[in-house]
Structure 1
Amino acid sequence: MIDDHSTIPVIGAAFDNINRAWTADPDIFIRETGKVISVGEGIARVEGLPNVVTDELVKFANGSLGLAYNLDPDEVGVILLGEENLIEAGDEVFRTERVLGVPVGDALLGRVVDALGRPLDEKGTLRAVSYYPVERPAPPIMNRVSVSVPLQTGIVTIDALLPIGRGQRELILGDRQTGKTAIAVDSIVNQKDTDVICIYCAIGKQRAEINRLVSDLQKQEAMEHTIVMSASSSIPVGLQYTAPYAATSMGEYFMEQGRDVLIIYDDLTWHARAYRELALLLRRPPGREAYPGDIFYIHARLLERCTRLREEYGGGSMTALPIIETQAQDMSAFIPTNLISITDGQIYLSPTLFRKDVLPAIDVGKSVSRVGGAAQLPAYRMVTDELRLDYAQFEELEAFSRFSSRLDEDTRRQIERGKRIREILKQDQFDTMPVIQQVALLVAVTQGVFDDMELPEVKKAARKIRMNIAARLDEVADKITRGEPLNSIDRRNMEESVKTLLEDLSQNSEQEEGV
């Protein structure tokens, strides 16, 4: 593996001149060549190339590229990085003595690129700062520092109950159409006023879906700080396999410059399937569910590159939100359990909650953040313990109440409080909340401010509070932003401000009804 960025060639135009071992005569050069035996289904079998090494780029006669992957005694298995219909048996293929690299730098921000870093958005060519290898070793343990700086997603349930820190790897999983991508996109949108660079890597998705996502990011003014890597289902499977590694290399450039990066892998289920397809075609021994034996390793070496570095090594961070799809709510399947064991926690989206219109459909009981309060603003800590306890008790009591019509007054009160907590935790897509709004609503609901309010009115009242609370508590908002803990006086002021707002709103509503 080559880690010297200066040796990585420019993908594309410069390939006409690469790999020439010049002799004394400038008109003669030597190169090691082979011949294509067979080609199909995204791979090619090549004879010759006796000195080729694993993960080395090879070039075919028509200019297409491939990745040497299987090194058998009689042949080389090559993963194609271009269209296979342009390659035929008998075609010449030669070594490049290079590994696959991608362009990196600020020029990629706001662009849509493929797995080789080529632009797909018709905005002109890219002027890369440098080229990084797609495969790079993860930072050593001694170069890392513990995760302690929060990454705000703007989603109340996550920021309050499942906090994510810069440098953390938090898995998002759930069945089809439960809102996994929506959470990732909201997390990107919430970074538009921060210094966080976002990378969205789409693997195996339809082009129309990727175009729709890019359009949403543009409407939310979040594209300026985002790189979108498109590895749609219509491209060669080899590019789908290399896409997440290429996206990670792009993020590592910013991390080593001391900047913070958020990277989304959507989704690694398709990535695992792409690798299984390649492995079976290359005749690698299949294991459980026909996946090859190193299926755990391909994701472990990818996610281990996401971390937070010490100041002397750049001080940047890369936060990963890998997404995987479950089948029939089975979290114990092969790929989900692999990813759960690699990551620092998971956010599970329940189809049952989704059908009940509880959005985002996050099942708090099955979700966890193993970083926890270490990467959470201190302002949350005065409400999260009570909130988590009340909500957990509510979910148990709500399930129990279905079997009994006789409930004591305390149980009814807890259930009603839980319903209001769930109403506050509901959130529409692109409706991200600043921290002061989240904390104010959580303080209000845990202190029972909404208890005497009808359930349909809670959402309206919460909206009015969000619109007005920042102006009333500007000093507290600054204190929260600076990461200072809130004392009992701050909490009481916040609670009184919310009550005052609700009283004003109630009086205004009565006056409007009278008119």
Structure 2
Amino acid sequence: MPSGEGANRGQVLAVRGSVVDGYFPDLLPRINNELRAGTDGQVIIEVANHLDPQVVRGVALTPTRGLARGSDMVDTGHPLLAPVGDRLLGRVVDVFGQAIDGKQELTGGQWRPLRRPPVPLAEQGTTAEVFLTGIKAMDLLAPIERGGKVGLFGGAGVGKTVLITELIRNVVGRHRGVTIFCGIGERSREAEEMYREVQDAGLLDNTVLVFGQMNEPPGSRFRVGHTALTIAEYFRDAESMAAENASRLASMQAAEQNNQDHLGVLGQRYHRRRQQAITEELQDIVSGFETLAKPDRLARKQGWVTT
């Protein structure tokens, strides 16, 4: 937690679940800045809006239990950051880039902001090219465009996750790439099963797993997709600068509801560069009898391929 005379300090004005209002009399924190509140700064908040020249509204990414009106709040002066680089291969991290696999903590190295602009128009690829998945039925009947998007729609137990798993296996095996899997709102059991499957398949050394699970606050699940995409963008940009022709797969499995705007912001960053690209977004829309009756309760699973 930032300390000292130079820190921009404020106070908690109101707490409504994961929504926290803060009062900063001296300097208003910027939108998307990371705020720390509570004892030892254990509550992490992202600024979402400016209510007036001295009041901000933010979304807490950690539990707000014990946070009360008048509690200290400090502006860190920077947005939420995620670690990037080859040091993440074989690791499991959360929305903050903290290791949750019981191995050594990720410290130092390069960190990037979760909120990043999309690829400039001048650097985007313009040629049409088929992305070969290695699954004959898809490549023949429903080919995927490199740099494009594809969706899967179906109820529970019809094989959407199996299809994503096969895509990961085929793309990594064919192109010697890196897999980035992000689970949003998953059950702990599902995350553990995915970890075991990747490990048993011998893909763990080329895989990064990012999880924002069902038991975590909504703010954490809301931003974990940005963490995974930031990591995927690093591999895409590194390959573009090195002018190498390697393939990288990023799969995001989401069970989050009412997140159309959130997915739209992520979608703006799925652009193809001239040499490398986040070439596929797999979006599985999970629907059952209840969700068909109530469209606003649709849950989504989503994934990307970067080449």
- Give the TM interval when normalised to the shorter protein: 0.7 to 0.9
* Matched position secondary structure for 1:321: strand
Within a 5 Å distance, the mapping from 1:34-433 to structure 2 comes to 34-48=10-24, 50-62=27-39, 63-64=41-42, 65-73=44-52, 75-126=55-106, 129-146=109-126, 148-193=128-173, 194-258=175-239, 259-267=246-254, 270=256, 272-273=257-258, 295-296=260-261, 298-310=262-274, 315-319=275-279, 320-328=281-289, 333=295
Q: CA deviation at 1:88?
A: 2.8
Q: CA deviation at 1:78?
A: 1.8
Distance in 2 separating the partners of 1:141 and 1:135 = 18
Q: Aligned partners of 1:325, 1:333: CA distance in 2, in Å?
A: 11
Q: Determine the C-alpha separation between the residues in 2 that align with 1:108 and 1:234.
A: 24
Aligned residues: 289
Higher normalized strand content (fraction of residues): 2
Residue deviations 1:204-257 (CA, integer Å, cap 9, x gap): 111111100111111111222211111101011111000111111101101111
Helix, strand or coil: the match of 2:205? Answer: coil
Contact map agreement 2:172 2:248 (CA 8 A) in 1: no
CA 1:304–1:260: 2 relative to 1, 3 Å: farther
Q: Deviations over 1:269-305 (max 9, x none)?
A: 50x43x5xxxxxxxxxxxxxxxxxxx44x32221121
State the alpha-carbon separation in 1 of the partners of residues 16 and 229 from structure 2: 29
Residues 169 and 303 of structure 1 are in contact (CA less than 8 Å); yes or no, is this contact kept in structure 2? no
Query: For the Cα contact (< 8 Å) 2:28–2:56, is it kept in 1?
Result: no
Letter in 1 for 2:181: Y
Is contact 2:89-2:206 (8 Å) kept?
yes
Q: Conserved in 2, the CA contact under 8 Å of 1:138 and 1:301?
A: no
Question: What value does the CA root-mean-square deviation take over the aligned residues?
Answer: 2.9
State the 1:335 CA deviation: 8.8
Q: In the alignment, is the contact (CA less than 8 A) between 2:37 and 2:74 conserved in 1?
A: yes
Higher helix share: 1
- Would you say the 8 A contact 2:14–2:68 is kept in 1? yes
* Distance in 1, Cα, partners of 2:253 & 2:81: 21
1:32 aligned onto 2:8: yes
Q: Secondary structure at the match of 1:39?
A: strand
Contact 2:172 2:249 in 1 (8 A): no
Task: Indicate conservation of the 8 Å contact 2:83/2:110, yes or no.
Answer: yes
Looking at structure 2, the residues matched to 184 and 168 of structure 1 have their Cα atoms a distance apart, in angstroms, of 16
Show structure 1 runs of 4+ deviating over 6 A: none
Determine helix, strand or coil for the equivalent of 1:196: coil
Contact 2:182 2:228 in 1 (8 A): yes
SS at structure 2 position matched to 1:185? helix
Distance in 1, matches of 2:267 and 2:136, equals: 26
Read off the aligned partner of 1:163 and give its amino acid letter.
Answer: P
Q: CA deviation at 1:43?
A: 2.3
Runs of 5+ consecutive residues of structure 1 not aligned to the other structure:
1-15, 21-27, 276-294, 344-515
Question: 2:65 aligns to what SS in structure 1?
Answer: helix
Partners of 1:119 and 1:130 lie apart in 2 by: 15
Deviation, 1:131, is: 1.0
Deviations 1:447-492 (A, max 9, x none): xxxxxxxxxxxxxxxxxxxxxxxxxxxxxxxxxxxxxxxxxxxxxx
> CA 1:112–1:261 in structure 2 vs 1: closer, same or farther (change >3 Å)?
same
What do the CA deviations read for 1:82-123 (whole angstroms, capped 9, x no partner)? 221142332100111111110000111111110111111112
- In structure 2, do the counterparts of structure 1 residues 186 and 147 end up closer, same or farther at CA, with 3 Å as the change threshold? farther
Matches of 2:91 and 2:128, distance apart in 1: 31
Distance 2:127 2:272 in 1: 7
* Structure 1 CA distance for aligned equivalents of residues 268 and 176 of structure 2: 23
**Percent identity over paired residues:** 23
Looking at structure 2, the residues matched to 154 and 210 of structure 1 have their Cα atoms a distance apart, in angstroms, of 25
SS in 1 for 2:252: strand
Give the corresponding residue for 2:242.
none
* Aligned mates of 1:254, 1:59 — CA distance in 2: 30
Please tell me the residue identity of whatever aligns with 1:60: A
Larger radius of gyration: 1
Matched-pair contact (CA < 8 Å) for 1:147–1:165: no
Cα 1:214–1:150 change in 2 (3 A) is: farther
| Cα shift readout 1:174-218 (whole Å, capped 9, x = no counterpart) | 222222111111111113322322211101111111100111111
Deviation at 1:128, TM superposition (A): 5.9
